[in-house]
Structure 1
Amino acid sequence: MSEPGALAKTTRINLLFDFYEPLLTDKQRTFLKYYFHDDYSLGEIAAEFEVSRQAVYEHIKRAETVLESCESKLGLLAKHELLQSWLTKLDQAVVSLPREHSAVPELEAVARGLRKALEQE
């Protein structure tokens, strides 16, 4: 994957994969892992599984479609990114307060709780 935007696409697919992996078939899961996580080429995956490059390509494309479809219906990645954004804003607000401000410990505790909740998604 060397075209412009490939890194952004890889990052998005990997994030979607984290949320929706159980909804993929075993082959889709395996081929996506090899292609996007491990950076195998279509030819390398085809050789490893003794199938055609076209078969690998079709499984990957179908998996991408499933992931995007799930995201459009459920929006888990979008919600996660929104929560991350608000957490960043909260962190910035806490840093801008004087350390002796009475709200700082409580806001830091809220930020820790949000981080923990996001890690458990």
Structure 2
Amino acid sequence: MIEKTIKISMLYDFYSPLLTERQRDIIDYYYNQDFSLGEIAEIFSISRQAVYDTIKRTEKIMYEYEERLKLIELYSSRAETIKKTFIQVEQLDKLIKKNAPKEELEEEIRVIKILLTDIHN
């Protein structure tokens, strides 16, 4: 359940602007604020079943948005490339501090440039 909660929270972060205000609120209450179906039903003066149906329908909508737009996939890919770039920069820093040969430094710089190009594209 925790994995699903994290996934829905990520979908919500990326796609909530595309949802109706009611969908946003219900998903926020349920996943981010840990309200029960009953508590949400009271807030909106609707049945628990209506809350449940809205949650399931909104989850489906957000999964479909991700399937089409792939914003989380793109974000994750870029985040991984940025992480690799920082590792390479740290490696370059170590090489500089130990007065590594120019060729080693140039190779590290070449790798960093490739990674930065990946981030940009």
Normalized against structure 2, the TM-score is what? 0.75
Letter aligned with residue 59 of structure 1: T
Counterpart Cα distance in 1 of 2:77 and 2:3: 18
Could you say what the CA RMSD is over the residues aligned between the two structures, in angstroms? 2.1
Runs of 5+ consecutive residues of structure 2 not aligned to the other structure: 97-104
* Residues 55-76 of structure 1 deviation map (CA, whole Å, 9 limit, x = unaligned): 0001111110110000000101
Q: Are 1:44 and 2:39 matched, yes or no?
A: yes
Runs of 5+ consecutive residues of structure 1 not aligned to the other structure: 1-5
SS across alignment from 2:77: helix
What's the % identity of the aligned pairs?
Answer: 38
Q: Are 1:11 and 2:13 matched, yes or no?
A: no
CA apart distance, 1:99: 5.5
Letter aligned with residue 88 of structure 1: K
* Residues 75-101 of structure 1 deviation map (CA, whole Å, 9 limit, x = unaligned): 011000000111111111222222625
Q: Would you say how many aligned residue pairs link Structure 1 and Structure 2?
A: 104
* Residues 21-62 of structure 1 deviation map (CA, whole Å, 9 limit, x = unaligned): 121112111100100110111111112222111000011111
Counterpart Cα distance in 2 of 1:9 and 1:53: 21
Q: Are 1:61 and 2:56 matched, yes or no?
A: yes
When Rg is computed on C-alpha atoms for both structures, the one with the higher figure is: 2
